[in-house]
Amino acid sequence: MSASSAFNDEKGGSSNVGEPEYGHDPASGGIFSSDYKRHDDLKEMLDSNKDSLKLEAMKRIVAMIARGKNASDLFPAVVKNVACKNIEVKKLVYVYLVRYAEEQQDLALLSISTFQRGLKDPNQLIRASALRVLSSIRVTIIVPIMMLAIKEAASDMSPYVRKTAAHAIPKLYSLDPEQKDCLIEVIEKLLADKTTLVAGSVVMAFEEVCPERIDLIHKNYRKLCNLLIDVEEWGQVVIINMLTRYARTQFLNPNMNVSTADKEEKEKKKTEATAIVRRKPYVMDPDHRLLLRNTKPLLQSRNAAVVMAVAQLYFHLAPKAEVGVIAKALVRLMRSHSEVQYVVLQNVATMSIKRRGMFEPYLKSFYIRSTDPTQIKVLKLEVLTNLANETNISTILREFQTYIKSNDKDFVAATIQAIGRCATNIGEVRDTCLNGLVQLLSNRDELVVAESVVVIKKLLQMQPEQHSDIIKHMAKLTDNIQVPMARASILWLIGEYCEHVPKIAPDVLRKMAKTFTNEEDIVKLQIINLAAKLYLTNSKQTKLLTQYVLNLAKYDQNYDIRDRARFIRQLIVPTDKSGALSKYAKKLFLALKPAPVLESPFKDRDHFQLGSLSHLLNAKAGGYQVLPDWPEAAPDPSVRNVEVPEWTKCSSREKRKEKKADKPFYSDSEGESGPTESADSEDEKKSEKKSKPRIGSSESESEEDNDSESESSESEEESEEESEEEIKKKKKRDKTHTFYIGVQMFATICKPAWLNMQFLLNPLPVSVPQTIVPSGNLKTYELLHRITGEGLSVEYCFSRQPFSPDPHMVAVKIQFTNSATSEAKSLHVEDAKLQSGMRIKEFPEIEVLPAGETVSVVMGIDFCDSTQAANFQLCTHTRKFFVSIQPPVGELMMPIFMTENEFKKEQGQLMGMNEITEKLTLEEKCQGEHAIVQRVTTAANLSRVPCGSDKEFAGKTVTSGSLVLVSVVTKENGAAQLTVNCEKMVIGTMLVKDILQALTQ
């Protein structure tokens, strides 16, 4: 039977074969036939010479594994195809081997040389799969091979392979813990990786192998915080949990002043004369603030685990005034399915004990629905009880009255306990709750009555002398209540407060003595206790009854009851052998018992990290990392400072261009590439000076210009004193020169397609580094509202003009408007709080701003190619306002001129992980070329590539000069493809989001 016929027969097999696409199923009945052969058709297909049959067989085998069926007997047939040249077959073979390599170790070892060759495969997926299979073979003999493979994969060019190497580290560590030191070196190397794909996996490896090596995180802390928003979701969870513990060891408690103030207030009430030493005001570490600021946007994540991770981070790390932001996100999660809702409520129940105020506005969200599962009902009940106070207790008790009518008995019992806790915590409603519980004693349901008795017993212990009537009423219930715990609670109450009911207690003992042999053990123990207490307080009436009960207990089947009876007899009945212990019988039995404290089962659970398994179980689980206490003194923050190498200031592409010799604009030998190469190289080589040199200028002229410009940049005041006449001459010269260049380009290239009317009609001044200013007004942002600023309102915009004192800074135009009736004085900037590497050039102080007047200034900010906010204080002569400027990613760029050939060349060098492609559908109003250009240039400070066949835009980042290339290719019916090539992946990822939003609005 050939492989193809076997395949065809199975596709059209009879009904007793089972599902045809997954091979023969033994459960289908064929196993009882004499000619049944398991998986023979698949084995024949795997032995075939045709890749199509092998691929079909592997698809069916992987599908069987996905359905939970056993395919281990196919291992020899599958492993023979590990060297197959077909990429698709090889991928599926590796998937199979990852599943069964540990079970079939001997056969897998035979193919280990093939896996080692796979580690050198040009395809990154094959390299990663080979490493995954190799790390799945749990044999100590290949540990050195695995170690070498992991080290090589950690240096792989593909971030996907490096991610797989991080996944393999914990596997090797569990196989051979002695490799820990070598693995730590690999982890340290991978932690320095700047790719978001690797970050989550290497932090997971760090947590598994060396969580105590917190020194490895110091230099990568800020990078992890900044990359967090772009890491995949499960990686975000791992990183956030790790950073929570890290922050607890490196920063001070942000609530130390609050807690200290509370302690001081209590001490003042106790002893007013005692002098109290106050601590210095707390100032939050900028790195602490960085973590809180970068995790806050993740509260909007679609992944519930990410939201929960951020919530626990804020609960454990944020100042008390800022924790409230997580409440809304957690309440939103409660609308998810019951599994997520259960976990959320577990954490909310813990948070609501110490942070009651943050959930009070959402009280109705915790009301219980009849469709909720019992475990959800109980948790919601717990939260409602924690949120109860004097203001809302009446509303909550009305809810509880409704819940008692439920058919869910466990839920009703939990509600009665909740009423008891409310009565304990809020003294004003204690009597109301007690009366309500007494009414429940007449309920027909024994479980309701029993639970009510238990709760009433606890409440009566607080004020027993005021409630003798309730005790008498409960004594009458002994004839009807059959639930053992309830009967035991009534007997304990009567025995404990027998002096308040001297006539009823002996009669209860008489009834209980009759039924002693038929009672449950817990009831028998309380009958013995009742007899002992009555013997000590009213021996005349109960002496014989007590002896009768003790005699019955003496021969009971339960040894606990026998021992208790023997002990009590020797204690309360004095004999020669009893000794002096009987003197203390009354003190032992009739001592005042402290009233029980009805507490939440979630109290003090917050010492476990929220969201962890240990928190859920309220017990330390295996592998749990303890949440550290806050340090008494702040550790040295300089350990997180990372020195920025000089080479990072300039991209490698720029360095290559700097090595090229300067060439004239026109060159017969260069042809079309001559002008662009010369212009671009000169433009980028002079980017660190005050302004750009003229395109095509000679070397000597450029040097003279640069010398004069560098001198002028040293003194901003001198540059402002240029005469108007000189400025006009300079502009005229620049325009003439630019026009001459355009004509030269046209004459040299001689192609009609190079005629870009927009480029020719809008020639650029030499000092301006952009080619197309986006149409429409620049977007304005509010920096200070006039109400907050007491009449002073401040707005800012990114002017997209070069900042003359420093070309690596983004120019920010700030407009002050004085809406107050009095003048504002001494407007200036103070106390800039900047991230590492960022710089700020303050604007000159505005001495006076009269009422009703407006003034504009320009300041420069070096954002260091990141969208982190620049925080500083805006000061007047009377007030200081804390403000921040956060740039859109498109404002971190400056446009550069680039021809189509140059654009294609550079785009070809920025492929792979430096390229992001997204498909989108353009609306009708946005399908025109002008609309696309306008929206892209508005979203990002880029220039249009002239005469390009597609809509292409070029620019570079202001600080490091990293190239940013954007192309929009339109197709039929509004379909389009957006491609961004960027040397910095983080910037490219954020830019794609902004441009997509601009094109689809």
Question: Minimal CA–CA distance to 314: which of 608, 605, 600, 610?
Answer: 610
Q: What is the CATH number of the domain that holds 213?
A: 1.25.10.10
Question: Minimal CA–CA distance to 129: which of 175, 160, 170?
Answer: 160
Residue 769 has pLDDT above 50, yes or no: no
Tell me the β-bridge partners of 846.
Answer: 827
Number of domains in the chain: 3
CA distances from 529 to 474, 504, 574 (A): 18, 16, 17
Domain range for 920: 891-999
Question: Minimal CA–CA distance to 794: which of 862, 863, 881?
Answer: 881
Task: Give the pLDDT of residue 579.
Answer: 60
Work out the average pLDDT over 768-782.
55
Asked if residue 59 is part of any domain, the answer here is yes
Task: Give the pLDDT of residue 465.
Answer: 64
Question: Minimal CA–CA distance to 319: which of 343, 285, 342, 367?
Answer: 285
Give SS3 for 961.
Answer: coil
Task: Give the pLDDT of residue 147.
Answer: 93
Q: Convert 670-699 to b/e letters by CB count within 10 Å (16 or more is b).
A: bebebbbbbbbbbbbbbbebbbbbbbbbee
Top mean pLDDT of 290-299, 350-359, 757-766 is at 290-299
**In the structure, what pLDDT confidence band is assigned to residue 295 with cuts at 50, 70 and 90?**
very high
Asked if residue 62 is part of any domain, the answer here is yes
Supply 458's token pair: 């606890």
| Helical spans, DSSP H, in 515-647 | 521-537, 539-554, 559-572, 585-589, 613-617
Give SS3 for 919.
Answer: strand
Residue 637 has pLDDT above 80, yes or no: yes
Distance of CA 240 to the CA centre of its chain: 5
Task: Give the pLDDT of residue 161.
Answer: 94
- Dihedral, 100, 102, 107, 113 alpha carbons, nearest 10: 100
Task: Give the pLDDT of residue 257.
Answer: 67
Q: Which residue has the tokens 């654009």?
A: 903
Residue 872 has pLDDT above 70, yes or no: yes
Work out the average pLDDT over 39-66.
86
Work out the average pLDDT over 375-394.
90
Q: Final residue of a domain: which of 828, 861, 887?
A: 887
Top mean pLDDT of 36-40, 315-319, 575-579, 730-734 is at 315-319
Report the C-alpha gap between 928 and 935 in whole angstroms.
11
Q: Same domain for 899 and 985?
A: yes
| Helical spans, DSSP H, in 593-723 | 613-617, 652-659, 673-685, 699-714, 716-720
Q: Which residue has the tokens 């570079």?
A: 956
Sheet-wide strand order for 824-833: 846-849, 824-833, 870-875, 880-885
Q: Same domain for 107 and 174?
A: yes
Residue 913 has pLDDT above 90, yes or no: no
Angle, in degrees to the nearest 10, between helices 468-475 and 446-460: 150
Task: Give the pLDDT of residue 21.
Answer: 42
Residue 707 has pLDDT above 60, yes or no: no
For residue 998, give the H/E element and its range: helix 985-1000
CB-side exposure of 522: number of CA atoms within 13 Å?
10
Mean pLDDT over each residue of the chain, to the nearest integer: 78
Residue 773 has pLDDT above 70, yes or no: no
Task: Give the pLDDT of residue 892.
Answer: 92
Residue with the bigger pLDDT between 906 and 457: it is 906
> What is the DSSP secondary structure assignment for residue 876, as one 8-state letter?
-
Tell me the β-bridge partners of 810.
Answer: 802, 861
Report the C-alpha gap between 606 and 456 in whole angstroms.
30
Task: Give the pLDDT of residue 720.
Answer: 40
How many percent of the chain have pLDDT more than 70?
Answer: 78
Task: Give the pLDDT of residue 280.
Answer: 59
Asked if residue 3 is part of any domain, the answer here is no
Assign residue 576 a region: left if phi > 0, alpha if psi is -120 to 50, beta otherwise?
alpha
For residue 713, give the H/E element and its range: helix 699-714
Contacts of 166 (CB under 8 A, 6+ apart): 154, 187, 190, 198, 201, 202, 204, 205
CA distances from 563 to 161, 480, 484, 644 (A): 69, 30, 21, 77
Work out the average pLDDT over 21-35.
43
Supply 636's token pair: 């040295």
Max Cα distance, the chain (Å): 131
What are the φ and ψ backbone dihedral angles of 52, each rounded to 5 degrees? -65, -40
**In the structure, what pLDDT confidence band is assigned to residue 23 with cuts at 50, 70 and 90?**
very low
Assign residue 275 a region: left if phi > 0, alpha if psi is -120 to 50, beta otherwise?
beta
The 10s digit of each residue's pLDDT in 798-830 is: 988 888 888 889 999 999 999 888 888 899 998
Task: Give the pLDDT of residue 697.
Answer: 37
Task: Give the pLDDT of residue 643.
Answer: 61
Report the C-alpha gap between 506 and 500 in whole angstroms.
12
Q: Final residue of a domain: which of 198, 216, 250?
A: 250
Can you spell out the DSSP letters for 101-155? TTTSHHHHHHTHHHHHHHTT-SSHHHHHHHHHHHHH---GGGHHHHHHHHHHHHT
Give the other-Cβ count within 10 Å of 753's Cβ.
11
Q: Are 268 and 275 in contact (CB under 8 A)?
A: no
Task: Give the pLDDT of residue 439.
Answer: 79
**In the structure, what pLDDT confidence band is assigned to residue 669 with cuts at 50, 70 and 90?**
very low
Tell me the β-bridge partners of 968.
Answer: 951, 978
Q: What is the CATH number of the domain that holds 966?
A: 3.30.310.10
Residue with the bigger pLDDT between 447 and 705: it is 447
Residue 296 has pLDDT above 70, yes or no: yes
Work out the average pLDDT over 321-349.
87
Q: Same domain for 53 and 131?
A: yes
For residue 708, give the H/E element and its range: helix 699-714
Residue with the bigger pLDDT between 580 and 72: it is 72
Degrees to nearest 5, angle at CA 164 with 158 and 165 = 90
Lowest mean pLDDT among 52-61, 206-215, 291-300, 455-464: 455-464
Q: What is the CATH number of the domain that holds 865?
A: 2.60.40.1150
Q: Same domain for 852 and 939?
A: no
Report the C-alpha gap between 300 and 328 in whole angstroms.
10
Asked if residue 485 is part of any domain, the answer here is no
Residue 198 has pLDDT above 80, yes or no: yes
**In the structure, what pLDDT confidence band is assigned to residue 791 with cuts at 50, 70 and 90?**
confident
Q: Same domain for 64 and 118?
A: yes
Report the C-alpha gap between 870 and 937 in whole angstroms.
24
The 10s digit of each residue's pLDDT in 946-983 is: 876 678 999 999 988 889 999 998 888 888 889 999 98
Work out the average pLDDT over 582-591.
78
How many percent of the chain have pLDDT more than 90?
Answer: 22
> What is the DSSP secondary structure assignment for residue 445, as one 8-state letter?
-
Q: Final residue of a domain: which of 219, 250, 281?
A: 250
Asked if residue 634 is part of any domain, the answer here is no
Report the C-alpha gap between 193 and 665 in whole angstroms.
41
Asked if residue 771 is part of any domain, the answer here is no
Q: Same domain for 871 and 947?
A: no
Long-range contacts of 585-588 (CB under 8 A, 24+ apart): 585/536, 586/536
Q: Same domain for 950 and 860?
A: no
Report the C-alpha gap between 118 and 138 in whole angstroms.
19
Supply 219's token pair: 């230099």
Q: Same domain for 864 and 995?
A: no
**In the structure, what pLDDT confidence band is assigned to residue 755 with cuts at 50, 70 and 90?**
very low
Work out the average pLDDT over 974-997.
87
Q: Same domain for 828 and 841?
A: yes
Task: Give the pLDDT of residue 948.
Answer: 62
What are the φ and ψ backbone dihedral angles of 985, each rounded to 5 degrees? -65, -35
Tell me the β-bridge partners of 889.
Answer: none
Q: Same domain for 875 and 965?
A: no
Degrees to nearest 5, angle at CA 393 with 389 and 394 = 155
Lowest mean pLDDT among 344-358, 392-406, 562-576, 634-648: 634-648
Report the C-alpha gap between 251 and 630 in whole angstroms.
7
Task: Give the pLDDT of residue 200.
Answer: 93
Q: Convert 154-174 to b/e letters by CB count within 10 Å (16 or more is b).
A: bebebbbbbbbbbbbbbbbbe
For residue 955, give the H/E element and its range: strand 951-957
Give SS3 for 522.
Answer: helix
Asked if residue 627 is part of any domain, the answer here is no
Report the C-alpha gap between 547 and 532 in whole angstroms.
10
Work out the average pLDDT over 280-306.
89
Dihedral angle sign, alpha carbons of residues 10, 13, 18, 19:
positive
Task: Give the pLDDT of residue 167.
Answer: 94
Q: Same domain for 90 and 164?
A: yes
CA distances from 912 to 166, 907, 979 (A): 21, 11, 12
Asked if residue 47 is part of any domain, the answer here is yes
Task: Give the pLDDT of residue 37.
Answer: 57
Q: Are 812 and 862 in contact (CB under 8 A)?
A: no
Lowest mean pLDDT among 429-433, 731-735, 929-933: 731-735
Residue 890 has pLDDT above 60, yes or no: yes
Work out the average pLDDT over 408-423.
88
User: For residue 2, which amino acid is it?
Assistant: S
Q: Same domain for 846 and 902?
A: no
Contacts of 838 (CB under 8 A, 6+ apart): 861, 862, 863, 864, 866, 868, 870
